[in-house]
């Protein structure tokens, strides 16, 4: 995003909160809709019309699906569903994949076709949200929304607009119509928002410096220690960046009385890749399960078709993340692992000591981030060799990076587990007053340190904005 969304939030959030609670309840969704559109237009003014067009198309799609179902015309309802989905997927395809398609055509046909299209921020997220709504209306899993203000508020709600979580309409349908704002929920929202902000600004941003340093090096001369430090930095950077954004979104939602489902559940403590993907980006995994895997047949039609369905889902998961071959390769990488676990590895892992299962998982998901992070597929092979010592095992720079970032990596490792949360819960049980004081100090410190860091840095992008 061409502006700092964090600076934007700090600048306008107090005004939004004040305006929201001053207004009569019947105007609050309209207020959130207008501010959300303003928030999006501030960074993407060119594509605000695209979002509004998509909102109208899917709103009408839901209306027509419901109308035809009410009159008993399932053929008409299916046609309305298909039309809205074709438009959604078509827009996503044009804006996200045209450049990638032309690059490959040029490589194969030796042509020089160029069409410069800027990717609208968050289009993958809000497109999937709208598609899930129309599909659920068709299935009868949710009631149609006949108020375009409420529907527009659902699609564009600024806390989760540009990087998720992907909120299914049926999980917030009642909240759009009636919700009770309370001081306790607002306080919990502030704490959750500050926790996410700290993850992003104090941990993810600083570890991003280490990854940027390593990935910008001549990869053929990177020793093993430097390569491992680099990819561990990216491993923690992407987790604290994305889970931090999700925490901020959930926290902001609570402040306005919305309850968004959790998007992360300590994925780095997993003991299999199957478990890892139950804990990582839960809203995306749920979307592909509900709207692709199960419609394809899931596990209901034998092992071979289940393997096919897993492969399709994971190829699409990879492609969803970006228009580059490394993302497709990343999806297939995890698809193959999940298929192998389904066939026999899970049974074997359950028989092994938990430590070995955990090391197995760590190695596979850390290496998966190598594929994810390096868009040039030739760099993936070079970096893989570096991890295993093709350019030696360490040098002076390796030790410099270890000394400068080692402590931060340890802190990131600890906070990527439930241990700090469990320790604090135990403290709350025994010394609630002390826990309260520490909470207040923690929130204030997080706010001050984050603001100082943000204002000192000219660029604070979230990694998932590009998806």
> Which tops the pLDDT comparison, 446 or 393?
393
DSSP 390: B
CB 429 within 8 A of CB 208: no
User: Shortest CA distance to 233 belongs to which of 221, 217, 257?
Assistant: 217
Residue 24 CB partners (closer than 8 Å, separation 6+): none
> What are phi and psi for residue 369, nearest 5 degrees?
-70, -25
Q: State how far the alpha carbon of 43 is from the alpha carbons of 121, 314, 317, in Å.
A: 9, 31, 26
Query: How distant, in Å, are the alpha carbons of 70, 183, 191, 193, 276 from that of 435?
Result: 55, 19, 13, 18, 31
User: What residue spans define the domains of the chain?
Assistant: 5-179, 185-466
> What's the rounded Cα separation, in Å, for the pair 215 and 46?
32
Backbone angles phi, psi at 272, to 5 degrees: -160, 165
Closest of 151, 177, 146 to residue 33, by C-alpha: 151
Over residues 389-435, the pLDDT tens digits come to 998 999 999 999 999 999 999 999 999 999 999 999 999 888 989 98
Q: What are the DSSP E strand ranges found in 193-307?
A: none
pLDDT digits (tens, 9 = 90+) for 214-234: 999 999 999 999 999 999 999
- Dihedral of alpha carbons 331, 244, 33, 162, sign: negative
Residue 2: pLDDT band (50, 70, 90) is: very low
- 80 has pLDDT over 90: yes
Residue 2 to residues 5, 8, 89, 128, 245, Cα–Cα distance (Å)? 9, 11, 25, 23, 17
The Cα-based distances of 139 to 79, 171, 301 in angstroms read: 14, 15, 21
Report the C-alpha gap between 220 and 434 in whole angstroms: 52
Query: CA–CA distance from 398 to each of 50, 224, 299, 394 (Å)?
Result: 47, 9, 47, 6
Query: Does pLDDT of 460 surpass 90?
Result: no
Largest Cα separation within the chain, whole Å, is 75
Answer with the residue of higher pLDDT: 302 or 329.
329
Cα–Cα distance for residue pair 301/303, rounded to 1 Å: 7
What residues contact residue 403 under an 8 Å CB cut-off, 6+ apart?
none
| Inter-CA distances, 257 with 181, 182, 260, 264, Å | 5, 7, 10, 20
The residues assigned a catalytic role are 321
pLDDT at 344 over 70: yes
- One DSSP character per residue, 69-105 reads HHTT-HHHHHHHHHHHHHHHHHHHHHHHHHHHHHHHH
- Over range 348-357, report the average pLDDT: 93
Question: Using CA atoms, how far apart are residues 74 and 38, in angstroms rounded to an integer?
Answer: 38
- What tens digit of pLDDT does each residue of 142-188 get? 999 999 999 999 999 888 877 668 999 999 999 999 888 899 999 99
Measured distance CA(264)–CA(283) in Å, rounded: 9
How many C-beta neighbours within 10 Å does residue 178 have? 8
Whether 199 has a pLDDT exceeding 70, the answer reads: yes
Sign of the C-alpha dihedral, residues 168, 169, 170, 174? positive
How far apart (Å, rounded) are the C-alpha atoms in residues 458 and 4? 8
Assigned token pair, 307: 């393997």
Q: How far apart are CA 223 and CA 420, in angstroms?
A: 33
Q: How far apart are CA 330 and CA 378, in angstroms?
A: 14
253 vs 2: which has the higher pLDDT: 253
CA distances to 63, 86, 98, 163, 178 from 11, rounded to whole Å, are 38, 38, 36, 20, 28
Q: With bands split at pLDDT 50, 70 and 90, how would you rate the model's confidence at 365?
A: very high
Does the global pTM surpass 0.85? yes
Task: Report, as an integer, the average pLDDT of 58-67.
Answer: 96
């Amino acid at each position: 995003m061409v502006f700092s969304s964090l600076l934007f939030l700090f600048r306008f959030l107090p005004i939004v909160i004040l305006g929201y609670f001053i207004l009569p309840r019947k105007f609050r969704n309209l207020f959130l809709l207008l501010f959300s559109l303003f928030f999006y237009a501030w960074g993407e003014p060119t594509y605000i019309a695209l979002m509004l067009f998509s909102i109208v198309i899917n709103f009408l799609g839901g209306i027509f699906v419901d109308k035809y179902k009410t009159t008993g015309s399932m053929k008409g309802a299916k046609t309305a569903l298909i039309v809205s989905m074709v438009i959604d997927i078509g827009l996503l395809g044009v804006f996200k994949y045209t450049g990638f398609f032309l690059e490959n055509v040029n490589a194969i046909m030796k042509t020089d076709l160029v069409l410069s299209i800027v990717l609208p921020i968050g289009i993958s997220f809000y497109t999937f949200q709208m598609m899930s709504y129309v599909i659920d209306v068709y299935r009868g899993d949710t009631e149609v929304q006949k108020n375009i203000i409420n529907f527009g508020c659902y699609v564009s709600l600024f806390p989760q607009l540009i990087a998720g979580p992907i909120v299914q309409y049926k999980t917030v349908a009642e909240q759009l119509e009636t919700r009770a704002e309370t001081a306790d929920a607002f306080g919990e929202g502030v704490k959750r928002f500050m926790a996410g902000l700290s993850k992003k600004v104090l941990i993810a941003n600083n570890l991003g410096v280490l990854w940027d340093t390593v990935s910008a090096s001549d990869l053929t001369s990177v020793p093993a220690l430097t390569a491992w430090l680099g990819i561990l930095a990216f491993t923690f950077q992407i987790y604290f960046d994305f889970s931090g954004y999700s925490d901020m979104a959930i926290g902001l939602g609570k402040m306005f009385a919305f309850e968004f489902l959790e998007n992360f559940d300590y994925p780095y403590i997993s003991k299999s890749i199957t478990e890892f993907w139950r804990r990582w980006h839960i809203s995306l995994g749920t979307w592909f399960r509900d709207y692709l895997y199960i419609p394809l047949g899931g596990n209901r039609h034998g092992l071979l078709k289940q393997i096919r369905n897993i492969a399709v889902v994971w190829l699409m998961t990879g492609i969803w993340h970006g228009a580059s071959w490394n993302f497709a390769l990343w999806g297939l990488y995890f698809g193959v692992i999940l298929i192998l676990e389904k066939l026999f590895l899970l049974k074997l892992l359950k028989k092994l000591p938990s430590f070995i299962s955990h090391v197995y998982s760590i190695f596979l998901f850390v290496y998966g981030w190598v594929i994810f992070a390096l868009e040039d597929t030739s760099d993936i092979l070079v970096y893989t060799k570096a991890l295993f010592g093709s350019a030696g095992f360490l040098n002076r720079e390796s030790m410099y990076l270890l000394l400068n970032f080692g402590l931060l990596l340890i802190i990131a490792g600890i906070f990527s587990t439930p241990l700090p949360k469990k320790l604090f819960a135990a403290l709350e049980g025994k010394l609630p007053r002390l826990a309260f004081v520490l909470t207040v100090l923690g929130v204030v410190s997080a706010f001050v340190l984050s603001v100082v860091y943000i204002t000192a840095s000219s660029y604070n992008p979230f990694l998932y904005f590009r998806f």
